[in-house]
Chain A
Amino acid sequence: MHTSRGGAWRAPVRALAMSLHVVAACIAAYVASARCVELASLMLHRLGMARSDAVMAAVMAGFVGFCLILLWAFSRPTMLRTWIGLGSLVLVSTLALKVIETFGGRV
């Protein structure tokens, strides 16, 4: 890589910015997966599973889901698409959870 005088700092700064993006995206993906686990447990319970079973099943699937979300998020062609995707996943799952809890009633 060429290093002109002023450009000596460009690569490390870009690396730092990229690293922060990656960390933030991972956190967003985790939050999305945690919400999805809670949603899944609610839905499994509605479908008839006992409470504890629903939570266990949702949690086990949650790890696989989180891995898939991560791979999907980081395989988007641009960073913007990654953030749009992750952002909407977090929003939708959080909203769905709130809606079900407020109107669906706790069992």
Chain B
Amino acid sequence: MKTSLRTRMGEIHTWAGVVLGALLFAIFWTGTLSVFDKEVDRWMMPATRLTWAADSPRPSLDHDARPLLDQRAPKAPAWTIILPTERVPFLTLSYGTEESRKSSREQFDPRTMAQLPPSQTLGASGFLYPFHHNLTLRTKDIGAWVVGIAAMGMLCLLVSGVIIHRKLFAEFFSLRLHRAFGRSNLDVHNVTGIVLLPFYILITLSGLIVAFSIYYPTAHEALYGRPATSQPREGGAPAAQEAAAKPRGTRSAAREETPERAFLREALGRVRLSAARQPADVASLDAIVTDAEKQWGAGAVYLVRVNNPGDARGHVLLRRASNETVTKDIDNLRYSSATGKQIGEFQASPTVNVWNFIAGTHYIQFSHWLLRWLYFLGGLGGCVMIGTGLFFWTQARRRKQQRQGHLGVSLMDVVSVAGVCGVLAATCAFFIVNQWLPRQESFGGIDRERWEVWAFYAVWVASLLHGLACILGNKAFGHLVAWRDQCRAIAALAVLAVVSNAGVTGDHLIRTLSQGNWPVAGVDLCLLAGAVLAVMAASRLGRRVAEASFTSRAQLADQVLGKEPAHG
């Protein structure tokens, strides 16, 4: 029995799609939102709705930031100062304490240095973006592994999809939206799949490549040495074993550099210098930044980290913004914090710059609004492709099975509706709860941040339960009812989110548009556009429900009158 390559690829495409479809939709959706994560942050954190032009003079580090740091964290192991940018229009001061690793982050108006009230929310950059790359399951990187498996599955889906598409070029422009729902659905799946194929391959592959240290953790071992096991090397063996056995990121300095640290130092310039335990002053940070800008250009520094301030061997690390290029710049300059002189620099090699470029195409840190919007639309295209693909499978299966009560199809129906509509509704709920909850640190012992996250998951679960009820309750067309109702719910929630923002913060669309407050206006407009699309989808589905209900009643009547044998 010889099966052709196309058949085999068809099976791979179907199975990978069925197993990974809903997960991929969630990853793509949160990834699409993360394109504008800083803008969504402005929407979710009203206190940070400031404006900052890219060429505004930066706040003085010595006069504005130093007094605050000396006051709050004189003995901290590290100070981090993040300078304001167009998309992040405030100054951030971050510092840890000797006891705890968790650092405090405080935000300041860069013009007045008034502290901004804490927003008590994770926001898009604190929840939606981490969800995208590790499902917020950080223990042992399990979430990242699940996302990685899905990403690898996506690559297989893309390649197999191209191979099985019989009329790739003939149907390149075919959007037969007036035809039967199944045909138009498949057309949308094919067109969004093929026109954005280079984008999907780029995004998926780059997403995997940026996290190579998670997915290929032993890649450096052939050239840098394996963690010491049974063959101790002379000299530093016990310390090496100790260092290798410690979990990544432990603060206590390992006397011997582990193979992994050596690789990261050589490839990415990550250095750790231990403290000398001798007190010293901290030199002028402004002078250090000015010196760096002589080499990098004006306004190039976006992050200043002072490691071991007040120590003789403290050093200042400066990171460079990558605004004009795609490549994510990891070049850094190191200065002694005691003397203010440059003590080192790192420039990535050409090979590592290839990695930086690939990382840059995924992290998109550049400042180019048109390209950012194109990424957003591309991500939405990906969501549409995945959603229509899932829908196509359940429709095709249903026709194939004849019986409408097959468990597998019902299960996939539930997974599809919860995977697509559920996560969209959950996002709206996340936004709504964010606006309405008063901004205090916790309620009833639970952090306010977690209340928002619970709302997200609760609505997702509700979507699942609603889907179950509809689909198990009506084997014939319950899935259409579920999709229609949830589309209506999404429309309502999206409008409610816009209303909540207007009601709670007073920054309604007319005001934000007239003030030029693009982040907030953009989020509101996208929510409204989403609501319109959801209403359109719901009305189309409503027509299908009406047709299906008429057909099934007609069939029932025929059965009763003895004209047609009962099915199943």
Contacts and interface: CB of A to CB of B under 8 A. Distances in A.
**A contacting B, Cβ–Cβ less than 8 Å:** yes
Interface of A: 22, 26, 34, 37-39, 41-42, 45, 49-60, 62-64, 66-67, 70-71, 74-75, 77, 97, 101, 106-107
> Which of A39, A51, A75 counts the most B-chain CB atoms under 10 A from its CB?
A75
Contact of A67 (B3, B9, B152): B152
A42 B223 contact: yes
Contacts of A60: 209, 212, 354-355, 358
A2 to B, nearest CB: 12
Given A63-B205, A66-B152, A75-B12, A52 B349 contact: yes
Nearest to A58: B219
B205 A74 contact: no
Nearest to B205: A63
A1 to B, nearest CB: 8
> Which of A34, A42, A60, A107 counts the most B-chain CB atoms under 10 A from its CB?
A60
A54 B224 CA distance: 11
A34 B218 CA distance: 8
Interface string B1-38: 01101001101100100000000000000000000000
A58 B3 CA distance: 34
A39 B350 CA distance: 21
B222 A71 contact: no
B12 A50 contact: no
Interface string B186-224: 000000000000000000010011001001101111111
B216 A34 contact: yes
B385 to A, nearest CB: 18
A71 B209 contact: no
B225 A75 contact: no
Contacts of B208: 63
25 contacts: A38-B222, A41-B219, A41-B220, A41-B222, A42-B223, A51-B266, A52-B263, A52-B349, A53-B267, A53-B350, A53-B352, A55-B267, A56-B351, A56-B354, A59-B209, A59-B216, A60-B354, A71-B9, A71-B156, A74-B8, A74-B156, A77-B2, A97-B222, A106-B223, A107-B223
Given A63-B208, A106-B225, A55 B263 contact: yes
Given A50-B266, A66-B152, A75-B12, A55 B159 contact: no
Interface residues of B, number: 38
B160 interface: yes
B155 interface: yes
Nearest to A63: B208
Given A60-B355, A63-B208, A107-B223, A52 B8 contact: no
B219 A52 contact: no
B96 to A, nearest CB: 29
A105 to B, nearest CB: 12
Interface in B326-371: 349-352, 354-355, 358
Contacts of B224: 51, 55
Contacts, number: 100
B152 to A, nearest CB: 6
Contacts of B358: 60
A77 B266 contact: no
Given A51-B266, A52-B352, A56-B355, A70 B223 contact: no
Contacts of A52: 263, 266-267, 349, 351-352
Contacts of A34: 216, 218-219
Nearest to B225: A106
Given A55-B267, A63-B215, 4 more contacts: A41-B220, A41-B223, A57-B351, A67-B156
A37 B217 CA distance: 11
A38 B218 CA distance: 8
A8 to B, nearest CB: 11
A23 B548 CA distance: 39
A62 B216 contact: yes
A85 B438 CA distance: 60
> Which of A34, A67, A77 counts the most B-chain CB atoms under 10 A from its CB?
A67
A58 B221 CA distance: 12
A54 B223 contact: yes
B267 A56 contact: yes
Nearest to B403: A1
B159 A38 contact: no
A49 B219 contact: no
Interface string B257-292: 000000100110000000000000000000000000
Contacts of B222: 38-39, 41-42, 97, 101
A75 B8 contact: yes
A51 to B, nearest CB: 5
A38 B212 CA distance: 13
Contacts of A22: 15
B216 A37 contact: yes
A77 B3 contact: yes
Given A60-B354, A63-B205, A55 B152 contact: no
B8 A55 contact: no
A26 B145 CA distance: 13
B490 to A, nearest CB: 33
Given A37-B216, A41-B223, A75 B5 contact: yes
Contacts of A58: 219
B469 to A, nearest CB: 24
Nearest to B149: A26
Nearest to A55: B220
B9 A38 contact: no
A45 B223 contact: yes
A50 B349 CA distance: 10
Nearest to A15: B408
Nearest to B1: A77
Contacts of B160: 71
Given A37-B219, A38-B222, A97-B222, A67 B263 contact: no
B351 A49 contact: yes
Contacts of B219: 34, 37-38, 41, 55, 58-59, 62
Nearest to B351: A53
Nearest to A49: B351
